[in-house]
Amino acid sequence: MSFLKKIIKKNKKLVTHDGSFHSDDIFVAATLLIYLEKNGETGEITRTRDEEIIKNGDYVFDVGGIYDEKNNRFDHHQTLGVGKRENGIAYSSFGLVWRKFGIEVAGSRETADFIEKKLVMSVDANDNGIDLFKSNFPDISVYTIQDVFATFSPTALEDMEKDGQFAKALVWAKEILKREIKKANDQTEVTKIIRDFYKKTEDKRLIVVDKPKVSRFEIWDALQDFTEPLFAVSGDKEDWYAVAMRKEKDSFGNRKDFPALWAGLQKKELQDATGVKDAVFCHNNLFLSAAKSKEGAIKLAELALLK
């Protein structure tokens, strides 16, 4: 417990179970600590199954056998559970806590809903034994956020204090959650900027996002719902790129590839193949080509549209 107390000051009493820990109780602790910080408070986490300590906790999660949102009791281990979402994903303690505090922690309904879909439901599904996907390669394990936090758990051959390991995992969880919220909030603003370029573009097969530092991931997210874009161009100074739009969100397939003959070509080879004097590189998977100028990147995309 000593390491835990060093990173968390006393104020509100947060209580969860002792022993092994999982991503749901780690993320609940992270959510509640961020919530308290935003309200000028701090929290002390106690990991126990002592009923007297549980009874006197200000926030109790993943232990205690009670779900009572009003009184900040967030256990989901009752015989019949605590309900499911419309999509069938049952709630774990993380989902219950996020349902109450998510909007305040995230800063808006839009961001809270985004985090719910991207992170919270994934954690809840795993904790309730629900498979979200099947691997295309059964002999390869998919490495998930649950696997990340499982690495903090001591093995049978290690002499480690589990509370100390929980505290280390909690530091990571808080940072991950804060960054996801920050990126989601920023993506909302970036999406508006990118879609303004989309609206102003006449030939919507090729969208030029003339704003520095916009990444291809931000472009994909912003334009995925529009069916016309096949390529987008963005960049800064002497680092410009043309990127193929994905067929589907989180898919590696392209709506239209760059020409197959460009695959893996760099500098002079690509310049000779395209006639673009400042062309730099074309990815082997034909989803990205780069040039040193905006004009060069646009030309690469225009050539790809003709193929």
How confident is the model at residue 298, as a pLDDT?
98
Domain chopping of the chain, boundaries:
2-184, 201-306
CA distances 76 to 80, 90, 240, 274, 278, Å, are: 9, 9, 50, 60, 59
How confident is the model at residue 79, as a pLDDT?
84
Contact 220/191 with Cβ under 8 angstroms?
A: no
How confident is the model at residue 131, as a pLDDT?
87
Interval 241-256: pLDDT, tens = 999 999 988 778 999 9
State if pTM tops 0.95.
no
Interval 37-93: pLDDT, tens = 999 999 999 999 999 999 999 999 999 999 999 999 999 998 888 999 999 999 999
Q: Which two tokens stand for residue 258?
A: 């760059």
Which residue has 């809840």 as its token pair?
Answer: 124
- In the predicted model, residues of the chain with pLDDT beneath 70 are 1-10
In the sheet that holds 206-208, the strands lie side by side as: 206-208, 231-236, 239-244, 288-291, 279-282
How confident is the model at residue 248, as a pLDDT?
87
How confident is the model at residue 307, as a pLDDT?
85
Backbone angles phi, psi at 22, to 5 degrees: -135, 175
Q: Which residues pair with 290 in a beta bridge?
A: 241, 281
Plot region of 23 (φ>0 → left; ψ -120 to 50 → alpha; else → beta):
alpha
Look up the CATH architecture of domain 201-306: Roll (3.10)
CA dihedral 299, 303, 304, 306 (to 10 degrees): 140
Stated length of the chain: 307
- Collapsing DSSP to helix, strand or coil, 177 comes out as helix
How confident is the model at residue 108, as a pLDDT?
94
Q: Considering only the C-alpha atoms of the chain, give the largest distance between any 2 of them, rounded to a whole number of Å.
A: 76
